[in-house]
Amino acid sequence: MFENVAFGLRMRKLDNATVAAKVGEALRLVRLEALALRMPRRLSGGQQQRVGWRERWFIEPDILLLDEPLSNLDAKLARRCAARSASSSASSALPRSW
């Protein structure tokens, strides 16, 4: 799973230390750091959604379209991810709409 999250960052030609730090932060945010070496097909549907959401956010795209990105997360994790997204949007030029 680590490599899946890292893929977009590697395509942006980031150095290995930056990739590792960003992937670690992404997995910590969605509380999946203990599963970093697990193959994506071995994750539950909710875990896959959490990883997919974070891997797309962390490549810092010019635009990010999400359709109910927090719908399958438990309430506490959804609030945490929404707060992180809001702070990321505020510190970047990435527009967002919920």
Q: Rounded distance, CA 86 to CA 52, Å?
A: 18
Whether 1 contacts 48, CB under 8 Å: no
Evaluate whether residue 97 is within a structural domain: no
Whether 55 contacts 36, CB under 8 Å: no
Q: Rounded distance, CA 35 to CA 2, Å?
A: 9
Evaluate whether residue 44 is within a structural domain: yes
pLDDT in 10s for each residue of the chain, 98 residues: 888 888 988 998 999 999 999 989 888 887 888 888 888 889 888 788 777 777 776 777 777 666 666 676 778 877 777 776 666 555 555 555 55
Residue 8 belongs to what domain range? 2-90
Tally of domains within the chain: 1
Evaluate whether residue 96 is within a structural domain: no
Evaluate whether residue 25 is within a structural domain: yes
Residue type, 36: A
Whether 54 contacts 27, CB under 8 Å: yes
Specify the CATH number for the domain of residue 42.
Answer: 3.40.50.300
Evaluate whether residue 95 is within a structural domain: no
